[in-house]
Structure 1
Amino acid sequence: MSLKTFAEALPDFAKDIRLNVGSLVNDQTLGDQRKYGLILACAHGTGYKPIVDAAEAEVAGKLSEEAANAARASAAVMAMNNVYYRFAHLASNKEYLSLPARLRMNVIGAPGIDKADFELFSLAVSAMNGCGMCIDSHEKVLKQHNVPAQVIQDSVRFGAVIKAAATVHSAISAN
């Protein structure tokens, strides 16, 4: 099932989400690697298997294996980092910010694709997970790579729409 087919199963109260999913799939501004990589990373970032399956079907044959694996890896490492760094940032005791994380995250340094693309994927997932410290870190790297604000905002829009689609689908499927 494609992502559009997945979205078509959403109820009428989520018509805006359906339309927004269509806009993501039809986006012509980001280029295929960024667009499909964001779809895949954000779907994996939800942890909701039906949208992961739909995203995997949507991107099949449209992303190189390296780009698809980098998108999956960004979701995986952000699942870990967003929890850890959100804790370190939100804890009243700021000592945690000075301690080494002691978490393996080698993929961030060597994602196998363009660094800016991997950072966009990571930023979108970090926004979905609400980690301000990670959002700031990824946005800073993107600015260093001269990624325009509109592209950065678009990546977060992808995260917002994919997360909303997963949330609504999960709620109606549970009934």
Structure 2
Amino acid sequence: MSPLERLRDAIPDPARDVRLNLQAVLQGGALTEPQRWGVAVASAAAARNAALRDAVVAEARARGLDAAVDDGLAAASLMAMNNVYYRFRHMVGKPGYSERPARLRMGRLAQPATSRVELELFSLAASAINGCEACVRAHEDVVVKGGLGEDAVHDAVRIAAVIHAAAVALEIGEEGAVEERGESAA
């Protein structure tokens, strides 16, 4: 049994739909296998659950998808920075901030391990989890214009949603396990 299968089995019964969805979204659809797993890696890293991230990365590497893993992790880390910065600019809505150069290094966008459009797809998933409207719109536009289309965007966001839900469900499971042992969760 793979680490991801073990983790999926650890999702508590109140979240059984998430358990089933986690298996389903990582199979088939409009995305290639490397695209699905790159999205999953970026999403798991953005969801900030170390056990889930490590299990998704291990599964993707076991499938020989090292380039997708590397770009997925790069996308998550870049979006951790960009989503805060661009969400601020969007929320404040003052032209003065938007007119200033970001001066944030993003060299990986110019030299991805996969392709530019795939790195943008992985960034879209992380941005959806991080809730940055400006980044979601920008990445969606690049992905669609890059030829992947709306079905690919839809599948990527479905994967991001389920991965994020799995992170929450696993935390719920950990909380319940602590309470069953009579320990304080705090």
User: Is the pair's TM-score, using the shorter chain for normalization, greater than 0.5?
Assistant: yes
CA distance in 2 between counterparts of 1:28 and 1:22 reads 13
After TM superposition, give the deviation of residue 110 of structure 1 in Å.
1.7
Mean Cα deviation higher: 118-127 or 3-12: 3-12
* Cα 1:28–1:143 shift into 2, 3 Å: closer
Q: Which residue pairs with 2:92 in the alignment?
A: 91
CA distance in 2 between counterparts of 1:172 and 1:37 reads 26
Q: Which residue pairs with 2:132 in the alignment?
A: 131
Could you tell me whether the CA contact under 8 Å between 2:10 and 2:173 is conserved in 1?
no
CA distance in 2 between counterparts of 1:168 and 1:62 reads 25
TM-score of the aligned structures, taking structure 1 as reference length: 0.93
Mean Cα deviation higher: 165-174 or 97-106: 165-174
Mean Cα deviation higher: 157-166 or 111-120: 111-120
Matches within 5 A, 1:82-121: 82-121=83-122
Q: Which 5+ residue runs of structure 1 have no aligned equivalent? A: none
CA distance in 2 between counterparts of 1:35 and 1:128 reads 16
CA distance in 1 between counterparts of 2:147 and 2:54 reads 33
After TM superposition, give the deviation of residue 5 of structure 1 in Å.
2.1
1:67-102 Cα offsets, whole Å, 9 max, x none, are 221111001100110011001100143321111111
After TM superposition, give the deviation of residue 66 of structure 1 in Å.
2.5
Tell me the secondary structure at the aligned position of residue 60 of structure 1. helix
TM-score of the aligned structures, taking structure 2 as reference length: 0.88
Could you tell me whether the CA contact under 8 Å between 1:17 and 1:164 is conserved in 2?
yes
Q: Which 5+ residue runs of structure 2 have no aligned equivalent? A: 179-186
Could you tell me whether the CA contact under 8 Å between 1:4 and 1:21 is conserved in 2?
no
CA distance in 1 between counterparts of 2:173 and 2:10 reads 10
1:121-166 Cα offsets, whole Å, 9 max, x none, are 0001100000000001101111211222111011011110000100
AA matched with 1:151 = A
The alignment's C-alpha RMSD in Å is 1.5
Flag the structure with larger Rg: 2
AA matched with 1:57 = A
Count the aligned residue pairs: 175
Could you tell me whether the CA contact under 8 Å between 2:43 and 2:160 is conserved in 1?
yes
Identity %: 36
